Structure 1
Amino acid sequence: MQHTNLGRSGLTVSRLVLGTMNFGPHTTESDSFSIMDSAIDSGINFFDTANVYGGDRKGHTEEIVGNWFTESGRRDEVVLATKVYGQTAEHPNGKGVSAKQIRFAVEESLRRLQTDHIDLYQMHHIDRSTPWEELWQAMDVLVAQGKILYVGSSNFAGWHLAQANEAASRRHSYGLISEQSKYSLITRDIELEVLPAAQAYGIGVISWSPLEGGLLGGVLAKAESGRRSKPRVRERIESLRPQLEQWEQLCADLGHGPGDVALAWQHTRPGITGPIVGPRTMDQLDGARRALDINLDESTLARIDEIFPGPGGPAPEAYAW
């Protein structure tokens, strides 16, 4: 397993991130335990969850992870990341990142996770109604109490990253060390502003949906069942069919599965700490691990860019002189 520092911090994390969103809604607790056992045994030490994961039973995913900590006794081996923002209560202060909600949400996550601290506490989305000063005051209190160690973000624009870390700097706070962004060969928008801002501020980027909802995982060769049978998904497949045909042929020529190559490509991207893999089964976890053994040469990377062109580099060079 490959490991690296998360952003500018001294925190060492695996270059594959175990996403847990399927635990509960699609994967039983027993199977989830087996996946976490196998992940940690293979060196995947970075586990990502959120306080709203669990399908109709929000928080259930955190409960499953917490039950595994208690049963396995391996909490100290894991870099645990969870999130705050989503609606967790029906009253007006039941969502967002106000000081009140942060204080409530962290206690609930700690209870469900059966731990005394969260290694990386992430804002699941930008909260346009909460001042940065209030946010950092609340986070600094949690750090001082030992309930969280680091702060991260998710779904932030590049200028949000700059605002957040400049506000933290004014308070002499450490600021954000990570950002979770949607990033795949099909969705490369973050190359314009988010990745350059993150690199400038020493923020490690964790990519979610690296297989674009399964479209990069060999979708054309798979049966039209499950999620792929939905009309909206079928329409998107058809709109991307020329690119997907070229993509799957390239991967076949390389002798690797399309999903494995898509994950391997992530590790070639400057500023990317690692992609989140959210396995429903052990086979899917095994496939993700194979990506670390794939080396993509310059000619292959150039061909990938021909199939899935990015925005042309960072802004403003991508669109101006």
Structure 2
Amino acid sequence: MEYTDLGRSGLSVSRLVLGTLNFGWNTQEGDAHALMDRAHEHGINFFDTANVYGGNGGTETIIGNWFAAGGERRTKTVLATKFYGNMGEWPNQGRLSALNIRRACEASLKRLRTDYIDIYQMHHVDRATPFEEIWEAMDVLRLQGKIVYTGSSNFAAWHIVKGQETAKRRNCYGLVSEQSCYNLLNRTVELEVLPACQDYGVGMIPWSPLGGGLLGGILRRESLRAPIIAPELDKHRSAIAEYESLCDELGDAPATVALAWLLAQPGVTGPIIGPRTVAHMDASLRALEIELEEKTLQRLDQIFPGPGGPAPEAYTW
């Protein structure tokens, strides 16, 4: 396994992140426990979850039960969870108010059966809550030893800038990571989000690295595709066909190439993988073994053109 520091911090994390979105929905608890055990066997120490996964805390509960089985599972894991979504129908059971930050953290700690969260992440920006309020609440949690670092997810670049500048004025650490949708089909973050992260020392953690399955060899198993992605497949069919042909030339699976491409991008800490089976997880490790040649990276840029680089040069001089 390869490891890297998360953003500007000294926290060492694996370059593949185990995503747990499927736990409790598509993956039953026993299988989820086997996946987490397998992740540790491979040296994957970075696990990501959220309080809304699995239906109001179901996924966190599964992870907590796994931690409770002992064997240094918790100490070997860099645990990241997220909060923002409504966990009930009553006011203040969602978003980023100081009240919900406190309540959501306490609830996650209980479900996860741990006394601290390594990276406590805001799942979305809350335009109604000032960063002064957010950082004050986060600082209290840090002083209490309940969280170690803070992260964001789905923030625009100016949200990252505003958050970091507010943190600087308060002499607090601010964000250590940002989770964004980033893959060969969706490269919008290259305009401003990724440059902002690099400038502020915030680690980029791409979610949906396979573009919802479109980059995982979809044409080879088209009969199994979900109806929900059919419009996207039709939209990108020509590019995906060319991409799968390139992967055949390289002798690697499309999913492997998609992950390897992300690992080659500057500023990327590691993509979130969401295996449903141990076999899927084992296959993902191949992405760490290959180094895409420059001509291959250029070919991928031709197949899936990005926005043209960072702003403003991408759309002006």
| Aligned twin of 2:125 | 126
CA distance in 2, matches of 1:206, 1:238: 28
| Aligned twin of 1:179 | 178
List per-residue Cα deviations over 1:250-291 (Å, max 9, x = no partner). Answer: 000000000000000001100000000011111111121111
Pairing 1:128-207 to 2, within 5 Å after superposition: 128-207=127-206
Aligned residue for 2:166, secondary structure, equals helix
What TM-score results when the alignment is normalised by the length of structure 1? 0.97
CA distance in 1, matches of 2:109, 2:193: 30
Pairing 1:267-282 to 2, within 5 Å after superposition: 267-282=263-278
| Aligned twin of 1:68 | 66
List per-residue Cα deviations over 1:196-234 (Å, max 9, x = no partner). Answer: 000000000000000000000000001422xx241x422
List per-residue Cα deviations over 1:284-314 (Å, max 9, x = no partner). Answer: 1112111111110000000000000001100
Which amino acid in 1 is paired with 2:259? Answer: L
CA distance in 1, matches of 2:90, 2:237: 45
Q: RMSD in angstroms over aligned alpha carbons?
A: 0.8
| Aligned twin of 1:292 | 288
Residue 214 of structure 2 corresponds to residue 215 of structure 1? yes
CA distance in 2, matches of 1:174, 1:233: 40
Which amino acid in 2 is paired with 1:187? Answer: N
Aligned residue for 1:253, secondary structure, equals helix
Shift of 1:26: 0.6
CA distance in 2, matches of 1:169, 1:235: 44
Aligned residue for 1:39, secondary structure, equals helix
Shift of 1:72: 3.5
| Aligned twin of 1:30 | 30
List per-residue Cα deviations over 1:233-252 (Å, max 9, x = no partner). Answer: 22221121110110000000
Gaps of 5+ in 2: none
Pairing 1:49-64 to 2, within 5 Å after superposition: 49-54=49-54, 57-64=55-62
Which amino acid in 2 is paired with 1:28? Answer: Q
Which amino acid in 1 is paired with 2:4? Answer: T
Aligned residue for 1:238, secondary structure, equals helix
| Aligned twin of 1:101 | 100
Residue 79 of structure 2 corresponds to residue 80 of structure 1? yes
What TM-score results when the alignment is normalised by the length of structure 2? 0.98
Shift of 1:92: 1.1
CA distance in 1, matches of 2:182, 2:231: 21
Q: Which runs of 4+ in 1 moved over 6 A?
A: none
Aligned residue for 1:75, secondary structure, equals coil
Residue 242 of structure 2 corresponds to residue 243 of structure 1? no
CA distance in 2, matches of 1:72, 1:106: 22
Which amino acid in 2 is paired with 1:68? Answer: W
Which amino acid in 1 is paired with 2:31? Answer: D
Which amino acid in 1 is paired with 2:316? Answer: A
CA distance in 2, matches of 1:52, 1:124: 10
| Aligned twin of 1:111 | 110
List per-residue Cα deviations over 1:8-30 (Å, max 9, x = no partner). Answer: 00100000000001011011111
Match of 1:258 among 251, 254, 261: 254
Gaps of 5+ in 1: none
| Aligned twin of 1:303 | 299
List per-residue Cα deviations over 1:114-139 (Å, max 9, x = no partner). Answer: 00000000000000111110000000
Which amino acid in 1 is paired with 2:141? Answer: L
